[in-house]
Structure 1
Amino acid sequence: MNVPADGSSKLEAQVGDSEFTRAEGLWFQDCGLIIRAETTIFRVSRDFLATHSPVFADMLTLPAPDAADMMDGCPFVLLPDRAEDVTVFLKALVYYNFFEPYPAPPTLSILTGVLRMSHKYEVQELRKRALTHLSAFHPTTLSEYQALDGKSALWFTELTRDGFLPILVMARTLDIEWILPIAFYRICDFDLDRDILEADISLDDKVRCVTGSRILETAGVSKMVDFLWSPLTGLGCGSPMGCMTSRVKSRRSVEHRREQTAADMVTSPLTVWAEASWKRLDVCDLCLSSMKTAHHQAMQSLWDRLPEIFELPEWNELERLKAEALA
């Protein structure tokens, strides 16, 4: 399809008493189907849509509409979807570089709009592309989670700033179960309690968030830094007093951070002890090695428990669902 040459955004014709806005870049004069979503209209190819979407194919095989459902001599279809979602969905279909495969970074509105519409209208390849973007930042293994350090995307940055509740809502609506453990975990880490309680999610999911937050910020954090004083020195340590002093000092620092205001306190066990934290320790090589092993074991143990904490299926079942969706 050719991009429309004129840059106009208003359609002068009216249907009934309502004026409609022509979707920029999605009004093709040589195409024979007009779609309306809210107050926005699109002129596209019915055959093109039918080729990509079995839902549209079925819809467009219905008998020709009455004259009242025509516009400019074209069939006129009203969709119940948001105009913003229809816009990004159609652009993702029409323009090859509008919604590129991972790791190209879409915005949050583009990603969620394309995912909702491709799921609803069964455009499988587009849906898989959107799910790949989403899954890349909601890993199902600890090693994949740790590999996210230093990586980002436009849509993920928006969530980090504004909160992760929209991802939970979408995951529940579209049955994207394998991203739920990390979605819940991030909500507990980033979203405020008031936002969680006022969110448009089920009561059960609100309880999961509240209960999960308590587990993560108490026992979760404590077990993650237990290696700092249990045991205080390793067998064969060459400097027991020096190593013990450094370890206790670091543990006290973590506990102090847990006593700060809600905005500053430590609540995230998977990041309470970061890679940079090791540089602040002044311990012998033997103690350092044993501490790193203990810390990794604590990380893996918590990761393995995440689905259980939020009352979700086990990781192996979630990974099976992910593999099927992305196949």
Structure 2
Amino acid sequence: MGVINLARLSGELSLLPVAVMSCTRLSDIARGFTREDGSQETLAPDDLDVCFKAKTELRKASMRVLFDTLAPTAAPECKAPATCSDVIRAALIGLHSRLDDLLDNDPFFPYTTYVKIEDGKFGVCDACLAMMEDRCWRGRQKLWDRLPEVLRINVPGWGEAESTE
């Protein structure tokens, strides 16, 4: 909350996406918190509105990344596509038991946070595992690049390549 207020006060909007994302995970955001000096830190009503709406949008976006990662299709190089597709499909079905985690965790957690892994293995071939890792990485990277858009916050320059000069 303090970072959101500081970003608004200083005009440093690049701080907002991560600060808003962090606030979406707070249980009692409407009441604020008490600082060490006893003063109260709260958000302006407009920023509370941003945080409430952002929570839903962030959940939807992170679910898209997860479901895209776990699309039950085998890699082109897969030697056992039916088996690998079945394992991925079973992981998708198993997500229902992790619903609370899916909704409350960091939206940038990898898919391995939510699927059952036995003996350190997911149960698909190396080609399918590499494909899923790539899907997960690319999906989370795209979500990061679009974070202000997902949160409906205007942050000029976010996601643009920085100059190396």
Q: TM-score scaled by structure 1?
A: 0.40
CA distance in 2, matches of 1:289, 1:265: 23
SS of residue paired to 2:85: helix
Matches within 5 A, 1:164-313: 165-189=1-25, 191-192=26-27, 195-199=28-32, 200-217=42-59, 219-258=60-99, 260=100, 264-267=101-104, 268-271=106-109, 273-274=111-112, 279-308=120-149, 309-313=151-155
- The structure with the largest alpha-carbon Rg is 1
| Residues 213-237 of structure 1 deviation map (CA, whole Å, 9 limit, x = unaligned) | 00112x2222121234424222232
> Which stretches in structure 2 are left out of the alignment for 5+ residues?
33-41
- Note the C-alpha offset of 1:269: 2.0
- Note the C-alpha offset of 1:283: 0.7
Pairwise CA RMSD of aligned residues?
2.7
Identical aligned residues as a percent = 24
- Note the C-alpha offset of 1:311: 1.5
Which has the larger share of strand? 1
- Note the C-alpha offset of 1:208: 0.9
Q: 1:301 to 1:166 in 2, by over 3 A?
A: same
- Note the C-alpha offset of 1:238: 1.1
The residue type equivalent to 2:51 in the other structure is C
SS of residue paired to 2:87: helix
Aligned to 1:130: none
Is contact 2:72-2:86 (8 Å) kept?
no
CA distance in 1, matches of 2:29, 2:140: 26
Q: 1:168 to 1:223 in 2, by over 3 A?
A: same
The residue type equivalent to 1:266 in the other structure is L
The residue type equivalent to 1:215 in the other structure is E
Is contact 1:224-1:295 (8 Å) kept?
yes
How many pairs are equivalent?
147
- Note the C-alpha offset of 1:175: 3.0
| Residues 39-61 of structure 1 deviation map (CA, whole Å, 9 limit, x = unaligned) | xxxxxxxxxxxxxxxxxxxxxxx
Q: TM-score scaled by structure 2?
A: 0.73
CA distance in 2, matches of 1:212, 1:302: 13
